[in-house]
Amino acid sequence: MPVPHSAPPDNVTSPIRRIAHLDMDAFYASVELLRYPQLKGLPVVIGGGRRHADDALLVQHSDTPLHKIPVADFPLLEGYTGRGVITTATYAARQFGVGSAMGLMKAAKLCPQAILLPVDFAQYRHYSQRFKAIITDIAPVMENRGVDEVYIDFTHVPGGQRQGGRTLARLIQKAIFDDTGLTCSVGVAPNKLLAKMASEFHKPNGIAIVHESDLEPMIWPLACRKINGIGPKADEKLKLHGIETIGQLAAKELQWLMDTFGPRTGAWLFAAAHGQDDRPVETESEPVSMSRETTFERDLHAVRDKAELGALFTRLCEQVAADLQRKGYVGKTIGIKLRYDDFKSVTRDITIPQHTADATEIRRIAGQCLKRAPLHKRLRLLGVRVGALAPEDQADSAIQKVAKMPRTRELF
DNA sequence: TCTGGGGTCCTAGGACCC
DNA sequence: TCTGGGGTCCTAGGACCC
């Protein structure tokens, strides 16, 4: 007997889900080039510079019309002595083997003539807001994925279905370029997972369209690592089982994946390998935690550097408190993070009965956390975190909480 | 010459409750 | 005394992402 099912009536053409992933091309470097066009084509490194390199730049930022600074006046990595890492490197710098997440000291060895710029988040945020505003003017359903990436739901946007989304992607690219001078790459696919992979296909300033039928020829040959969510650890484990490509992953049985990687991860891996992902594009999200952390210029000892450490600790608490207050949140889980000289980290946290955004209270609880952490090794990093956030005006006071609590829970 | 800072989500054990 | 089966919350660590 045929099983009745509810397919949409033929006269209604339900639009095909079209999700775009838009990725700004070399965002930080491109923004810096807007300000320093004379750096075009040169090896430039942007990173957490400190000490003399920053001092030199500070003068330039404040006193001189920036575009008039001769290239020779930019600080070079040569002789760099700080602890920062590279956030972005231009293509010219990458040719020397320099890349993001690399320590600046190492980069200075590889390419001492590279120009060092400090990260300027205020500037990146400004351009970030600008390109996102341009997108939402055209396609309102947009999800933030950090400063330089977004997902956009094309499905119900007028023209969003044309050429699989290419027409709209082009329109958005042009609008962003006309306004900011920045380029981006876009992937359009039936879901976020595939769109994210597609946006990498034709970088920079490219567009890639992926349809369901493209899974086998376009996605399966890719390395598993290209799946957003498979990092170095998972990749290593997959390789251990001889799985290098997404196609090889797709050839595995669901049950085997669940037995090998756990039920949740296994099921997710299976779906991902088959190009399946039904996560919606989320336009709103509430923060879960806010934190501040700092790596010291030299490792500090809990006893010998007590005063310095104490002052830093208080400052971090004040910064987190200020962040919370500025954004209108309160939290009730206060935590600390320590990183030792051997790079091992520990965390400690305490949940308090009432939400807070008060620096003194955060400092008091964080101090209790610190007492529970091992302090015999030297420290390289200290962090303070406030989690279990609630909007300031919705936070339960202790009294409201009692009132809302059911008097008895009669389950039997 | 080691390796930033700001996040999210998941897991796993234990406490505690019904 | 031992034996259950949920459920939620808390804590610690870790993977991963931008």
Write out pLDDT tens, residues A72-94: 777 788 877 778 889 998 888 98
Superfamily of domain A19-24+123-211: Reverse transcriptase/Diguanylate cyclase domain (3.30.70.270)
B chain positions with any atom within 7 Å of a protein CB: 1-12, 17-18
Query: Could you tell me the residue ranges of all domains in chain A?
Result: 19-24+123-211, 27-119, 220-273, 289-394
According to the model, what pLDDT value does residue A292 have?
98
Superfamily of domain A289-394: DNA polymerase, Y-family, little finger domain (3.30.1490.100)
Please identify which of the residues A32, A149, A293, A410 carries the catalytic annotation: A149
Query: 3-class SS at A315?
Result: helix
Q: What is the pLDDT of residues A184-232, one digit of tens each?
A: 999 999 999 999 999 999 999 999 999 999 999 999 999 999 999 999 9
Is the C-beta of residue A105 closer than 7 Å to nucleic acid chain B? yes
Is the C-beta of residue A326 closer than 7 Å to nucleic acid chain B? no
According to the model, what pLDDT value does residue A53 have?
43
User: What backbone phi and psi angles, to 5 degrees, belong to A281?
Assistant: -80, 115
Is the C-beta of residue A99 closer than 7 Å to nucleic acid chain B? no
Q: Which DSSP category does A39 fall into?
A: G
Among A53, A135, A132, smallest CA distance to A86 is for A53
Token pair in block for residue A282: 């989320």
Is the C-beta of residue A260 closer than 7 Å to nucleic acid chain B? no
User: What backbone phi and psi angles, to 5 degrees, belong to A151?
Assistant: -105, 145
> Is residue A70's pLDDT more than 90?
no
Q: State, as a whole number of angstroms, the distance between the CA of A202 and the C1' of C13.
A: 38
Cα separation, A72 vs A55, in Å, equals 16
Query: 3-class SS at A321?
Result: helix
Q: What is the pLDDT of residues A164-174, one digit of tens each?
A: 999 999 999 99
Q: Residue A195 in contact with residue A210, Cβ under 8 Å?
A: yes
According to the model, what pLDDT value does residue A405 have?
41
Record: fold of A27-119: MutS, DNA mismatch repair protein, domain I (3.40.1170)
According to the model, what pLDDT value does residue A398 have?
46
Q: State, as a whole number of angstroms, the distance between the CA of A401 and the C1' of C3.
A: 35
Length of chain A: 412
> Is residue A57's pLDDT more than 60?
no
According to the model, what pLDDT value does residue A75 have?
79
Average pLDDT over residues A300-311: 96
Average pLDDT over residues A233-244: 96
> Is residue A63's pLDDT more than 80?
no
Q: What is the pLDDT of residues A35-48, one digit of tens each?
A: 888 899 999 999 87
> Is residue A345's pLDDT more than 80?
yes
Class level of CATH domain A220-273? mainly alpha
Q: How many CB atoms lie within 10 A of CB A55?
A: 11
> Is residue A151's pLDDT more than 80?
yes
The whole-model pTM stands at 0.89
Among A198, A249, A204, smallest CA distance to A223 is for A249
Strands A44-47 vs A115-118: parallel, antiparallel or unpaired? parallel
Burial of A15 (0-12, 13-18, 19+ CB in 10 A): exposed
Q: Cite residues whose beta carbon is less than 7 Å from strand C.
A: A 145-149, 196, 227-235, 332-333, 335, 345-351, 369, 372, 388
Is the C-beta of residue A284 closer than 7 Å to nucleic acid chain B? no
According to the model, what pLDDT value does residue A403 have?
42
